[in-house]
């Protein structure tokens, strides 16, 4: 929750706070149907325009086309009620894009994990956030039935 900037509409619209006498908890509340339909309903999102903007922003940043990258990044920030990014250097722009991806896609199909894995930051970030994190968790085990059918798949991924 602390990752959201002051005034970020995503925090207000996509999270809910539950408070008891002594404690408060937050939970995701994205894409909920807000009218009474008699049954619980939640929308499933597979592809979003925000993802296309952020993919293009990251590509442009890596090509050092920083103005184009910031233009796409700012479309996402402005829609969320935020001002334009203050990032200037390539590293700052890439960091700002990673932060927007984290906030924009939280609770959506493991985007954060795959971003961390893709950028080589999974160990660095997840070792701090997950108590029993192990570097072997970056890859999944190969299914045993596939290993039995094809010995060329051996050895099993480390840790499994």
Q: Where are the domains of the chain?
A: 9-129
Question: Which pLDDT belongs to residue 43?
Answer: 65
Mean pLDDT by 10 residues, the chain (160 residues): 93 92 88 71 76 97 98 98 98 98 91 93 92 89 94 90
> 9-129: which CATH architecture?
Alpha Horseshoe (1.25)
User: Token pair of 107, please?
Assistant: 């609770």
Question: Which pLDDT belongs to residue 118?
Answer: 92
Q: 124 burial class (0-12, 13-18, 19+ CB within 10 angstroms)?
A: exposed
Contact in structure between 89 and 62 (CB atoms under 8 Å): no
Question: Which pLDDT belongs to residue 42?
Answer: 66
C-alpha span between 89 and 71 (Å, rounded): 14
C-alpha span between 39 and 126 (Å, rounded): 36
pTM for the model: 0.81
C-alpha span between 154 and 100 (Å, rounded): 39
C-alpha span between 115 and 102 (Å, rounded): 9
Question: Which pLDDT belongs to residue 47?
Answer: 79
Question: Which pLDDT belongs to residue 41?
Answer: 66
Question: Which pLDDT belongs to residue 97?
Answer: 98
Question: Which pLDDT belongs to residue 140?
Answer: 86
C-alpha span between 153 and 142 (Å, rounded): 8
């Amino acid at each position: 929750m602390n990752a959201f900037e002051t005034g970020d509409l995503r925090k207000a619209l996509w999270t809910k706070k539950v408070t008891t006498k002594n404690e408060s908890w937050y939970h995701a509340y994205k894409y909920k149907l807000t009218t009474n339909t008699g049954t619980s309903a939640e929308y499933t999102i597979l592809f979003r325009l925000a993802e296309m903007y952020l993919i293009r922003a990251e590509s442009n940043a890596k090509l050092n086309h920083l103005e184009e990258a910031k233009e796409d990044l700012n479309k996402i920030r402005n829609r969320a009620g935020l001002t334009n990014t203050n990032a200037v250097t390539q590293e700052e722009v890439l960091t700002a894009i990673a932060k927007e991806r984290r906030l924009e896609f939280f609770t959506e199909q493991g985007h954060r994990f795959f971003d961390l894995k893709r950028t080589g930051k999974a160990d660095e970030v997840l070792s701090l956030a997950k108590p029993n994190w192990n570097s072997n968790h970056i890859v999944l085990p190969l299914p045993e039935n596939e290993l039995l059918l094809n010995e060329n798949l051996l050895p099993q991924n480390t840790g499994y």
